[in-house]
Structure 1
Amino acid sequence: MIVWINGTHGVGKTTTSRLLAPLLPDARVLDPEKVGETLMDIHPQLWPTDDFQHWDPWRPLVVETARQVLGSVGGTLVMPQTVLVERYWREIADGLAGHGIPVRHFVLHADEPTLRDRIEHDQVMGPSTFRSSRVGPYAEAARTWLHATAEVVDTTHTPPEQVARHIAEAVLGAPDASAPSPGQVRP
């Protein structure tokens, strides 16, 4: 199984994923960004872009990497990655489904002022114009398709440990954590 943690940059995907993996049996974190970094290392560059997700090989390589890892070790993969282009998400989700790999898709959400504050005051990465540039596209994706395809978890006032516990309970089917329907925002 794959637990995909989506949402814009600065919302807490990486932190939540690190906290979530120990809460799920046989879980490992697989960061799809590393697949993008591999493609970025090709020289000369495939073609100019501001985001490796626009490179056609990225999506099928993410699917194949996940398939190979699950085929080798089983368990659950926690995959933190922002995907804001619906066609790209469909390609990944359909590819995984084609291999019989179930996916629980969660979107971490925070209001815009909170996101901008987190990005500006990030103690690890520092301020980032790239991350800031994705806040608007995230809002558009959330409004038009993203929230309708996932279980949305609001992180605005919720600590990462609690977000991770909520997702673990939803994945494991804890009686007090009924999974919201896609598009329903949960604290």
Structure 2
Amino acid sequence: MKLIFLRHGEAQHNSSEPESFQITHPKLTPKGIQQALNLQKHFRITNNDIVVVSPTYRTLETANIFAREHACSKYLCYAIGPRIYPYREGSTTLPCDKVMSRKELIDYITDDNFKVLIGDFFDNKLDSVNHVSEYLYKNISLNFMEWCRRQKVERIFIVSHDGTINHFKEIIINKKFTRDDMLNEGEYISLEI
């Protein structure tokens, strides 16, 4: 099975770093919209594929552009939300990495194909994985990958964030990475599990 990790397209918080990190719920820029369209053109997504999306505006916008013409299964998953990389105990979540609340998601999503995955990976009260310990997040990640295997499909597209993707690369490839190894906006990596 292939897990294809897509980093969201360029968003408002990527425009004038670090000041733009203070934007809450940044949206895609015109460049980010084009990057999502390029991902759509690159992959021939089918109705048999699954798309799993982090609960942020920029990832949802990317996924909506990427998979909008398909009736494939789509899931929202807090387990693949923004994650500090490398993990630093005691660090704080920047406004740009604040995940959408369940109410915000309900108000935002108009596609009936989206289902929310919560209890399979961690306690229902936990909305953000940004500050859970490395040990706990590794377990959450392994549980998420086991859920992926149980879907018995050839490809699952995961629309997420640079730090989260680096974390999954470490687990799957069993190698340490640095911030220099992160994907740029609109890039992807395909990994076999």
What TM-score, normalized to structure 2?
0.42
> Relative contact order: is structure 1 or structure 2 higher (C-alpha 8 Å, sep ≥ 6)?
2
- Taking structure 1 as the reference length, the TM-score comes to 0.43
Structure with greater proportional helix content: 1
Structure with the greater alpha carbon radius of gyration: 1
